[in-house]
Amino acid sequence: MAKRIAHTLSILDIVKLFATEADAAKWFELVRWNGKPACPQCGTTEQLSKPAHKPFAYWCKACRQRFTVRMGTVMESSKIPLQKWAIAMYYTLTARKGISSLQLSKELKVTQKTAWFLLQRIREACQRDQFKLMGIVEVDEVYLGGKPRPVPVVQAKNRNTRADKQAVLGIRERQGATMTVPIARTDKATIYPIIQRNVERGTLVCTDDARAYRSLDQLGYEHRSVRHSAGEYVKHGIHTNSIESVWAVLRRSLHGIYHWVSTKHLSKYLNEATFRLHEGNCQVDTIDRMVALTCGMVGRRLTYKQLTNG
């Protein structure tokens, strides 16, 4: 059976869909509340009114508080128009390798600092609830983020280039569902609990021949590996090409778009990339991806102080 091809939207479609701030507010309210606004503070849907002087706000008679669709989401307290939030979400979801804060600042006509904070809050919303992968799953690890600073030749011989980078474990279904986790070490004491939490027992797990993966079959998985150390990359359908393609995209994104990412913020960039991969296959409509991202905003909050001091 032929695969369904997603209905994609252009930036012109997005600008038309969110033509006014009222259009944007109506869309976000529909996605969040499905036509029945609810007070984020007390949960009531009955005792609500709309003040005439606050067109996008509601007044809750039960708890006597005013609220908007932004409250209780990563957009709370943001002065950025909802139109610009929607456009930023669109660029985040459709740019294969992401969009830099500098480029987004030009698209939205805001400062680079504002665009950076906006993108970080969108990345916060890209976190996914825990789910278990199954079928054929590939597992691999990589070092990402940072980049070694120039050092004198004398010191370079003894320099560990991984010291500036963060180890990341990646797990990917052959069907496309992907998750990435920053890890402190690449040993089995660190890796196995993550696999057990996120991969169904009995799943076929494909890895390279790293020592850390050699006992996976003892945990109830069907483990197969390829010997990269011997130049073997595919053996009877066993390979790690899918997860390695994720690393390739991430490297191009981190170095080609963002140029440098600190290990402190790397997890947020991983959230964005894996969300885009998971929700971005050719069978998912653009508008459905925006809906999924909007739903991910609810119940999360990220202040500038938390972002810069955390």
Q: What is the pLDDT of residues 270-291, one digit of tens each?
A: 999 999 887 555 568 999 999 9
Which range of residues forms the domain containing residue 257? 136-264
CA distance 42 to 249: 43
Q: Given this model, what pLDDT does residue 153 score?
A: 45
Let me know whether 124 and 140 are in one domain: no
Any domain includes 5: no
Q: What is the pLDDT of residues 64-100, one digit of tens each?
A: 999 999 999 999 999 999 999 999 999 999 998 999 9
Whether residue 154 is found in the same domain as residue 68: no
- Domain presence at residue 96: yes
Q: For residue 1, give both structure tokens.
A: 């059976």
Task: Please give the structure tokens belonging to residue 234.
Answer: 């595919």
CATH of the domain at 201: 3.30.420.10
Q: Does residue 140 sit in the same domain as residue 98?
A: no
Whether 279 is in a domain gets the answer no
Give 186's contacts (C-beta < 8 A, 6+ positions apart): 141, 167, 169, 210, 212
- 246 domain residue, yes or no: yes
Number of domains in the chain: 2
- Residues 237, 206 contacting (CB under 8 angstroms): no
Q: Are 239 and 223 in the same domain?
A: yes
Residues 180 and 251 in one domain: yes
Query: Which has the closest alpha carbon to 130: 179, 79, 87, 74?
Result: 179
Largest CA distance in the chain: 73
Same domain, 141 and 244: yes
State both tokens at 216.
């996976």
Distance of CA 215 to the CA centre of its chain: 30
Amino acid symbol at 307: L
Average pLDDT, the chain: 89
Q: Is 141 a domain residue?
A: yes
Residues of the chain with confidence (pLDDT) below 50 = 1, 153-161
Q: What pLDDT, on a 0 to 100 scale, did the predictor assign at position 158?
A: 44
> What pLDDT is stored for residue 146 in this prediction?
65
Look at residue 48 and tell me if it is in a domain: yes
* Shared domain check, 68 and 112: yes
In a domain, 1, yes or no: no
The verdict on residue 155 lying in a domain is yes
